[in-house]
């Protein structure tokens, strides 16, 4: 059992989508020194109904007592556990262009994500260092994967190379992809994938602009 949380029913994607947001707000409360918060107060801060918050948390057993509100540190830790943040994740970045460099420089460390390797195919990038980590050539990845535990590969490379790279990663025992390439990677056996499509997001903004203007 190893102390993991056992989910007795399938949790909906919508609930999962909201959990990191709760985590982020609770982190802000902690930083502000808040120890206890009612679901109504949390609701007002987050623009989500108190009933929604209670329902969401009840999926995981609920973490408050009626009338006493939530202990912020406890709720933060529990949501962290739900999100699998109670362990360190080693991350490699494949594709060290602007976006790859931005990812490599991003401060995910406080959530336990640690960049351990950078890979590209461009010889001019070889040996360039970001936060003390040298860029390696992609053909060194199989050897690197033997020597290092890799939990997540961030793909910041052209969409043409994304699927081949995903298949290679799978063969090397890497089973999670944070995909920034402009293609959905939903077909690789045994791989969990989180797609970040920046242009999709920009199009949703465009939709909002078009519909806001006409109101």
**Residue numbers at the binding site for a second copy (CB under 8 A):** 4, 6-7, 16-17, 19-21, 23-24, 47, 82-85, 89, 97-99, 101-103, 105-106, 108, 111, 113, 151-152, 175-176, 178, 182, 184, 186, 192-194, 196-212, 214
- In angstroms, rounded to a whole number, what is the distance separating the alpha carbons of residues 95 and 33? 40
- In angstroms, rounded to a whole number, what is the distance separating the alpha carbons of residues 209 and 30? 35
4 forms beta bridges with none
Backbone angles phi, psi at 19, to 5 degrees: -60, -45
**CB distance 117 to 139 below 8 Å:** no
User: Distance of CA 121 to CAs 81, 98, 112, 185, 213, Å?
Assistant: 37, 15, 28, 21, 45
């Amino acid at each position: 059992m190893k102390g993991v949380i056992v989910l007795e029913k399938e949790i909906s994607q919508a609930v999962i989508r909201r959990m990191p947001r709760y985590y982020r707000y609770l982190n802000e409360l902690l930083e502000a020194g808040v120890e206890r918060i009612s679901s109504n107060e949390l609701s007002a801060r987050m623009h989500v109904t108190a009933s929604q918050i209670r329902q969401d948390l009840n999926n995981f057993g609920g973490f408050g007592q009626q009338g006493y509100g939530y202990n912020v540190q406890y709720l933060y830790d529990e949501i962290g556990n739900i999100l699998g943040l109670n362990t360190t994740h080693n991350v490699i970045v494949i594709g060290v262009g602007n976006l790859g460099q931005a990812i490599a420089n991003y401060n995910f460390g406080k959530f336990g994500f640690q960049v351990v390797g950078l890979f590209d195919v461009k010889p001019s990038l070889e040996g360039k260092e970001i936060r003390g980590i040298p860029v390696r050539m992609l053909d060194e990845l199989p050897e690197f994967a033997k020597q290092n535990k890799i939990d997540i590969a961030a793909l910041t490379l052209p969409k043409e190379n994304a699927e081949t790279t995903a298949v290679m990663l799978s063969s090397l025992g890497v089973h999670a992809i944070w995909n920034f390439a402009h293609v959905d990677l939903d077909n690789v056996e045994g791989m969990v994938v989180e797609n970040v499509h920046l242009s999709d997001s920009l199009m949703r903004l465009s939709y909002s602009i078009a519909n806001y203007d006409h109101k």
